[in-house]
Amino acid sequence: MTDSRFFKKFGPFTLAQICNQTKIQIPENADPSTEFDNVCFLDEATSKDISSYHHTKYLSSLQKTKAGICFITPDALKYVPSNTIALVTKNPYRCFGIVATMFYPPTSAADSISPLASIHPSANIGNNCTIHPFAVIEENTVIGDNSIIGPHVVIKAGTILGQKCIIESHVVISHALIGDLVYMKPGARIGQPGFGFHMDVLGHFNIPQLGRVIIGNDVQIGSNTTIDRGSLTDTKIGNGVRIDNLVQIAHNVEVGDNSVLVAQAGIAGSTKLGRFVIVAGQVGISGHLTVGDGVKIAAQSGIMRDVEKGEIIAGSPAIPVRDWHKQTIALQRLIKGK
């Protein structure tokens, strides 16, 4: 049950509306006008709720569910209780997401600029933007239409932000050009100078960090994640990229379209990731490397070499995941043999 203190619910929606939005045919024996009230986890769902089965851990929940509707893959259809309408799809969780978004659409901007924000007269604020108290928007910035700027956000001089962006509390952005539909969670830090200095026997000499951060459209950036600006070239985050909390992205890194970086991963300077790369939690990738399209890197791996397109790797230093499993087994034998 969603808590009405925090979430405003829309609906109800009919089976017909739900099937229309998810592009699934209405099952033959079901009444298209039946109304549903909410989305819910399998365990807690009632006959007015819509649920989905998308992880084998929850098979017993599926078998006991009282949900009115359940999105399901063809192979699991046989486990759906008879009182539940099964809507069969290859992607139950995508369908669930579509319906959840019908009931709980994302917050949209209202034309509301707090008098407690500090906005430079030269800032170009788009139409219908929301700007919360104590935001600081410096000179020569651009905020696209329908964007939301949270409390205490700092948009430093010259930054350009696209349309329909949501920038949550305490985010700081500088030296950056940012696309549309970008969502940043609280405390993300974008565009500060990278860890750039020359070390020799005379000590450390700071190298001015003269690049930018370029972020595409439909990007999400997690809480307290840090993305440094380039040193001479730019740090680039492609379209559709998803970055979790507490991730570190160093100067000049490039992350290709639709790649995913899970919490606490770290990418060292000048490394380039391809498209649809998946970097699991706490992975570390050394600097000046190239990681090909579609590479998958298991949690806590350490990457010290270039990685070919499509490789699946694990371990520190990382090796092909099959070898890593063999290694784990070999190590077990090693200690049992003694």
Confirm or reject binding of residue 326 to its own copies (CB under 8 A): yes
Confirm or reject binding of residue 309 to its own copies (CB under 8 A): no
Residues 228-247 that bind its own copies (CB under 8 A): 228, 232-233, 240, 242, 244-246
Residues 206-225 that bind its own copies (CB under 8 A): 206-208, 210-212, 218, 220, 222-224
Q: Are 136 and 118 in contact (CB under 8 A)?
A: yes
Residue 259: exposure state from Cβ atoms within 10 A (0-12, 13-18, ≥19): buried
Residues 108-127 that bind its own copies (CB under 8 A): 114, 116, 118
Stretch that binds its own copies, among 21-29, 76-84, 121-129, 144-152 (CB under 8 A): 144-152
| Least Å from the CB of residue 53 to its own copies | 13
DSSP string, 128-190: T-EE-TT-EE-TT-EE-TT-EE-TT-EE-TT-EE-TT-EE-TT-EE-SEEE-SS-EE-TT-EE
Helix (H, G, I), strand (E, B) or coil at 260: strand
Closer CB to its own copies, residue 112 or residue 327? 327
Binding mask 37-66 for its own copies (x = CB under 8 A): --xxx--x----------x-x---------
Confirm or reject binding of residue 75 to its own copies (CB under 8 A): no
Residue of 54, 170, 175, 251 with catalytic role: 251
Give the residue, chosen from 104, 145, 292, 312, that forms a contact with its own copies under the rule CB under 8 A: 104
Confirm or reject binding of residue 305 to its own copies (CB under 8 A): no
Contacts of residue 201, Cβ cutoff 8 Å, sequence gap at least 6: none
Confirm or reject binding of residue 100 to its own copies (CB under 8 A): yes
- In 10-124, which ranges are continuous DSSP H helix? 15-22, 59-64, 92-103
Residue 307: DSSP 8-state:
B
Rounded Cα gap, residues 235 and 231, in angstroms: 8
Confirm or reject binding of residue 299 to its own copies (CB under 8 A): yes
What does the block give as tokens for 8?
Answer: 């405003």
Residues 15-34 that bind its own copies (CB under 8 A): none
Rounded Cα gap, residues 307 and 291, in angstroms: 5
Binding mask 168-187 for its own copies (x = CB under 8 A): xxx-x-xx---------xxx
Size of the site for its own copies (CB under 8 A): 109
Residue 205: exposure state from Cβ atoms within 10 A (0-12, 13-18, ≥19): exposed
Stretch that binds its own copies, among 10-18, 61-69, 75-83, 258-266 (CB under 8 A): 258-266
Confirm or reject binding of residue 312 to its own copies (CB under 8 A): no
Give the residue, chosen from 263, 292, 311, 312, that forms a contact with its own copies under the rule CB under 8 A: 263
Catalytic-residue membership of 132: no
Closer CB to its own copies, residue 101 or residue 127? 101
| Least Å from the CB of residue 82 to its own copies | 24
User: Which H or E element spans position 270?
Assistant: none
User: Which H or E element spans position 252?
Assistant: none
Catalogue the long-range contacts made by 159-167 (C-beta closer than 8 Å, 24 or more residues apart): 159/191, 162/217, 163/126, 164/109, 166/106, 166/107
What residues are labeled active site? 251
